[in-house]
Structure 1
Amino acid sequence: MSSRDARHAWWFIAPWLVGFVVFTAWPMVYSAYLSLTDYDVINDPRFVGFDNYRELFADPKVALALRNTLIYTVMAVPAHILLALGLALLLDRAARSAGFFRTAFFLPKMTPPVAIGVLLLLLFNGQRGAINTMLGWIGIDGPAWTTDPDWVKPGLVMMGLWTVGSTVIILLAALRNVPTDLYDAARVDGAGFWHRTRAVTLPMISGPLFFVVVVNTIASLQLFTEAYTAFFGSGNTTYSNDAALFYVIYLFQQAFEFLHMGYASALAWLLFLVIMAITGIQVLVSRRVVYYEGDAR
């Protein structure tokens, strides 16, 4: 019986395994090989050893793109999580209207990333954008969001908050699973809302919080479509492209504009190692701050 169940299980997961091998594992192995070659798509790959890796460590554009990406991630992830948590706390207190607002918050997530990039140019235009127009109503002279290098990343962060809905749904589900008797005990002890949030809510939802932090960190490190559409795909050379040159955009340029596939593969593997290192640090930190129900600690 156990052997038959095991065979059935393998048959059920076989489609996923085939897809993983064909579309993930094999491309990763092949890209690792290409990272050791000089390959322009037209001619056969020519083995060059670790020359691509030595070149990327000497390339100032790599350092610029990586710095832009890390700065954006440091700005975007906390803003995304804090806004999502605040909205989830509000929804948790809602009654009959909670279903409507869950749908309303999630729908923007369905917006294509290209459309978000176009919206960024429309809303954050320094002269005629809706954001600066509304700031002007209260006497604030809005910045040049798309041309001032100091404001390019904040503008992208604010535009990225448009798709906060999926994180709100995850955190709301976590809040709904917090035992109510813990809140009752805290109220008996005289704890107010903020104290209950800090002492009860956050520890009890620390697992889902850790999950969304990791997922959003990885997504931020791979930012591409919105920034490329807004600052590189429009054909307008007046924008501060260096301030919006994120790592995956530079990787895309090397691969599909300059046809440096070998070099782009080396860039991809460096990004993979950076993501793995950051995720590893987050996992180590989580062992001290994340609580799981049934944990023996």
Structure 2
Amino acid sequence: MIYRKKYLAVFFIAPAFLFLLVFVCYPFLMNIYNSFFEINVLGAPIGKWNHFENYRMLFKDPNMITSIKNTFLLMALVIIFQGGIALLLALLVDYIRRGAQLYRVIFFFPMVISAAALGLIFNLLYLYPDGPLNVIMTSLGFDPIIWKGEGNAFAAIAIPTIWSNVGFYFVIYVMGINNIPTDVMEAAQIDGAVGLKKTRYLTIPLLYNVLTTTFILMITGALRVFDMAWILLPNGQPGGSTYLTGTYMYQMTFINRNVDYGATIAVFIVILGILLSQLTNKIFKPKDY
């Protein structure tokens, strides 16, 4: 049997393992190494030892503090609204008898469009004063809004970011609901658990492990937000108020050419993602049913 021939398993696993070593592990380890030295140009030789100065600077840099606050705020909004809307849509589709497949395609559709393309679309929607959103506002009797101006800029990033990934989590929740054993559902219905009672006492509790997994995905996903935010409001506009950890890392590395500090921010993002994922697993421990 194939299971007794261990070398076959090694033969097929080795290429993927080698790929991870070369393109994931090695760059990350080099990133850690680079964060301790002065590097002023991307691809330049490593300079002198910086005496942990980059790591000291992380929590003194006002832009970095702003990016951390914005990232945590986006993380909270993503969990509440992205996860909440996706779960609500999945539960509603579960009650639909006809056309459920059509709704699944419609809700998943934003995932087909790249984040860069969505960013360009929302740039057009946000145009002042003649963009589509402002045309609707003025037709309703309201004044046009500077969507990317002071006070509205973070919302201009958060709204498309949340909307773009609702379909991904919607599909996960739908699959989780479909994997609930039918005999359990039938027994619950016989006992009178229908409608909202079914959702509250059966569906959501049995989705506990799926919800835990999606929480972790949302947390790590918020840490990785870059392309849409950068296209909508590059350089942390206006006035550095919309920096996220990912966009600020890009700004430092590729725009300001402060490569060693950019590497430090990248290490911080990875460590933060690991810590938050582990914390989520500790708080929401998987359950056996």
Tell whether the structures are fold-level matches, with TM greater than 0.5: yes
| Distance 1:195-1:278 versus aligned 2 partners, 3 A rule | same
**Residue 29 of structure 2 corresponds to which residue in structure 1?**
29
- Name the CA distance, whole Å, in 2 between partners of 1:50 and 1:258: 20
Pairwise CA distance, 1:68? 1.1
Match of residue 214 from structure 2: 212
Matched, 1:177 2:175: no
CA contact (8 A) 1:231 1:241 kept: no
One of 257, 260, 275 as aligned partner of 1:259: 257
Q: Is the 8 A contact 1:203 1:291 kept in 2?
A: no
CA distance in 2, matches of 1:275, 1:70: 11
- TM superposition shift of 1:130: 2.5
Is residue 2:25 matched to residue 1:12?
no
Contact 1:91/1:98 (<8 A) preserved: yes
Structure 2 vs 1, CA of residues 134 and 194 (structure 1 numbering), >3 Å: closer, same or farther? farther
- Which residue is 2:247 aligned to? 249
| CA deviations over 1:217-243 (Å, ceiling 9, x no partner) | 11112211111111117xxx9x52523
Determine the C-alpha separation between the residues in 1 that align with 2:281 and 2:269. 18
Q: Give the letter aligned to residue 280 of structure 1.
A: Q
Determine if contact 1:218/1:275 at 8 Å carries over to the other structure: yes
Give how far 1:204 is off.
Answer: 0.9
Decide which moves more: 222-231 or 37-46: 37-46
> 1:92 & 1:136 partners in 2: Cα distance?
38
CA drift of 1:65 comes to: 1.0
**C-alpha offsets along residues 47-102 of structure 1, whole Å, 9 cap, x if unaligned?**
22312111222211111111111111111222111111122122223345222332
Is the Cα–Cα contact under 8 Å of residues 34 and 45 in structure 1 kept in the other structure?
Answer: no
Q: Does structure 1 conserve the Cα–Cα contact (< 8 Å) formed by 2:157 and 2:232?
A: no
Cα deviation for residue 7 of structure 1 reads: 1.3
Partners of 2:195 and 2:140 lie apart in 1 by: 32
Partner of 2:153: 152
Return closer, same or farther for 1:267/1:162 CA change in 2, 3 Å cut-off.
Answer: closer
For residues 192 and 155 of structure 1, do their structure 2 counterparts lie closer, same or farther at Cα, with a shift above 3 Å needed? farther
Structure 2 CA distance for partners of 1:89 and 1:136, relative to 1, 3 Å:
farther
Deviation larger for 120-129 or 85-94:
120-129
Q: Who is 1:100 aligned against? A: 102
Shift of 1:192: 4.3
Question: What is the alpha-carbon distance in structure 1 between the residues aligned to residue 118 and residue 33 of structure 2?
Answer: 35
Number of paired residues? 286
Matched, 1:291 2:262: no
How far did 1:201 drift? 0.5
SS at match of 1:259: coil
SS of alignment partner, residue 57 of structure 1? coil
The reply to whether residue 277 of structure 1 matches residue 275 of structure 2 is yes
TM-score (norm 2): 0.89
Change (3 A) 1:82 1:250: same
Query: Does the CA contact (< 8 Å) of 1:113 and 1:225 recur in 2?
Result: yes
Give distance in 1, aligned partners of 2:224 and 2:272. Answer: 11
Q: What are structure 1's unaligned runs of at least 5 residues?
A: none
Separation in structure 2 between the aligned mates of residue 156 and residue 199 of structure 1, nearest angstrom = 36
Gaps of 5+ in 2: none
Residue range with higher mean Cα deviation, 38-47 or 221-230: 38-47
Query: Relative to structure 2, which stretch is displaced further, 15-24 or 139-148?
Result: 139-148
What root-mean-square deviation, in Å, do the aligned CA atoms of Structure 1 and Structure 2 show?
A: 2.3
Over 3 Å counting, the alpha-carbon distance change for 1:260 and 1:202 in structure 2 is same
Q: Deviations over 1:4-59 (max 9, x none)?
A: 52211111111110100000110111111101100123343322231211122221
Moved over 4 A (4+): 1-4, 135-143
Alignment of 1:125-204 (within 5 A): 125-139=127-141, 141=143, 143-149=145-151, 151-160=152-161, 161-204=163-206
Q: Deviations over 1:153-202 (max 9, x none)?
A: 22322212133212111111111111233333433444442222121111
**Alignment deviations for residues 233-257 of structure 1 (CA, whole Å, 9 cap, x no partner):** 7xxx9x5252321111111111111
* Alpha carbons of structure 1 residues 259 and 100: separation in structure 2 relative to 1, 3 Å: same
* Contact 1:39/1:261 (<8 A) preserved: yes
- Aligned pair in 2 of structure 1 residues 241, 77: CA closer, same or farther (>3 Å)? farther
Q: In structure 1, what is the Cα distance between the partners aligned to 2:226 and 2:174?
A: 28
CA gap 1:183/1:24 in 2 versus in 1, 3 angstroms: same
Partner of 1:226: helix, strand, or coil? helix
